[in-house]
Copies of this chain bind each other. A is one copy, B any other.
């Protein structure tokens, strides 16, 4: 049953079911739920729930039944492979009351695609071995619309056999297959009928570096008092999140609530000043990359505890070769001496985790790579290696540039990966502040 009658005024609602025991247990991180949630928001469809289920018939069927009741569109990802634990088509067909039939022409198209992949990879898998999977993947619920395979698995759009009702869009798990296939699904007339009812939902993101979450909460309360009504009644759906030291304020609103949103953004700037580093959804990576490009400047790294994470993070972005020249991973002390030119005497006198060594690393990276800026990072990521004077979580970061050096001393909590990630982000903010000056 669709929600159309119950709530005719709101945007259509969609839910996502992610299948796979590997996702449930965290061995694989789901990227499809977020991709679909964001894409549907752009299309004016609200996604309020993502359900992750293991590869079990009953759990998948129960999740589908629950979501079909409360949503206008349900999308599944995963479970379309050639192995027996891939059950999605079969279960969706059962829930929608459809029998599954073999599609001869589709099977031939899948066979051709499989043959092409086997050829390219140089596999010697016997044809008979492949045929079982091919036949399985060519089983389609009666009356369903087929979405042509991007890899080897076709998707399907399945409505209830009883007639009107919520369609289920069945997509493959690999993001590289799901994303192009979703683009095709958007053009399917059953899906289109839901999307056509979409209402524009805007989303604004403000990012702040520095203040505690309680100060943000206080500002929101003050704003509410000043404007005389709760912010949600003004049409703002605000979520705030503190992560890795950055405060993120994400607001969803209909176009009519734009003035209220503008008031919120102005109040954030007013209260937090230059701690607000982006009010247009840019990340610190974006801000730094754009500033380096605009100034025609370059960067190099010398990393100990992060051991390449900072350099790799610069290189995450296409086109980063315009400003990332190179870097040094100086994990062992000898590498600090040999690669970054840190004096052995300095290491002996103040130790590897020190402001002095961070500075020498930053200067060394800048000189040896020949970049505008050098960033040095040295710290105790743990869990071992901490001392009373230099506990786990103590990190020294230093930026070297044309106008000298800028040191920062961090005291971070949490496990090893958290300390290394927060160090990387703090290093980006150190460079950002230099570039904004």
Q: Which residues of B contact A176 (CB under 8 A)?
A: 413-415, 418
Q: How many copies does the complex hold?
A: 2
Select one of B21, B118, B221, B326 contacting A339, CB under 8 A: B326
Select one of B28, B48, B250 contacting A56, CB under 8 A: B48
A327 nearest in chain B by CB position: B329
Interface string of A372-416 (1 = CB under 8 A from B): 000000000011100000000000000000000000000101111
Most buried by B among A26, A118, A130, A320: A26
Establish whether residues B326 and A332, one from each chain, have CB atoms under 8 Å apart when the complex forms: yes
Establish whether residues B218 and A370, one from each chain, have CB atoms under 8 Å apart when the complex forms: no
Q: Which residues of B contact A242 (CB under 8 A)?
A: 81
Q: In the complex, what's the smallest C-beta–C-beta distance from A285 to chain B, in angstroms?
A: 13
Known: A33-B24, A308-B327, A311-B329. Is A318-B370 also a contact (CB below 8 A)?
Answer: no
Report the interface size for chain A: residues with CB under 8 A from the other chain.
111
- Report the bound CA distance from A37 to B27 in whole Å: 11
Known: A51-B50, A369-B338. Is A318-B38 also a contact (CB below 8 A)?
Answer: no
Establish whether residues A240 and B85, one from each chain, have CB atoms under 8 Å apart when the complex forms: yes
Does A269 lie at the interface of the complex (its beta carbon under 8 Å from any beta carbon of B)?
A: no
A324 nearest in chain B by CB position: B331
Q: In the complex, what's the smallest C-beta–C-beta distance from A113 to chain B, in angstroms?
A: 13
A317 nearest in chain B by CB position: B416
Q: In the complex, what's the smallest C-beta–C-beta distance from A354 to chain B, in angstroms?
A: 17
Establish whether residues B368 and A338, one from each chain, have CB atoms under 8 Å apart when the complex forms: yes
- Report the bound CA distance from A132 to B212 in whole Å: 14
Interface string of A229-270 (1 = CB under 8 A from B): 000000001111111000010100000000000000000000
Q: Which residues of B contact A414 (CB under 8 A)?
A: 176
Q: Which residues of B contact A241 (CB under 8 A)?
A: 20, 22, 27-28
8 Å CB contacts to B: which residues of A253-294?
none
A221 nearest in chain B by CB position: B132
Most buried by B among A81, A129, A132, A383: A129
Q: In the complex, what's the smallest C-beta–C-beta distance from A33 to chain B, in angstroms?
A: 7
Establish whether residues A383 and B331, one from each chain, have CB atoms under 8 Å apart when the complex forms: no
Establish whether residues A328 and B325, one from each chain, have CB atoms under 8 Å apart when the complex forms: no
Known: A221-B132, A327-B329. Is A49-B38 also a contact (CB below 8 A)?
Answer: no
- Report the bound CA distance from A70 to B63 in whole Å: 11
A67 nearest in chain B by CB position: B66
Binding stretch for chain B, among A186-194, A299-307, A427-435: A299-307
Establish whether residues A314 and B307, one from each chain, have CB atoms under 8 Å apart when the complex forms: yes
17 more contacts with CB within 8 A, not counting A26-B37, A133-B214, are: A24-B33, A24-B47, A25-B34, A25-B41, A28-B241, A49-B52, A51-B52, A62-B70, A83-B240, A84-B221, A123-B212, A125-B215, A129-B217, A324-B332, A328-B328, A338-B369, A339-B369
A-B complex: 8 closest residue pairs judged by Cβ atoms: A26-B34, A308-B308, A326-B335, A307-B315, A327-B329, A308-B311, A308-B312, A21-B239
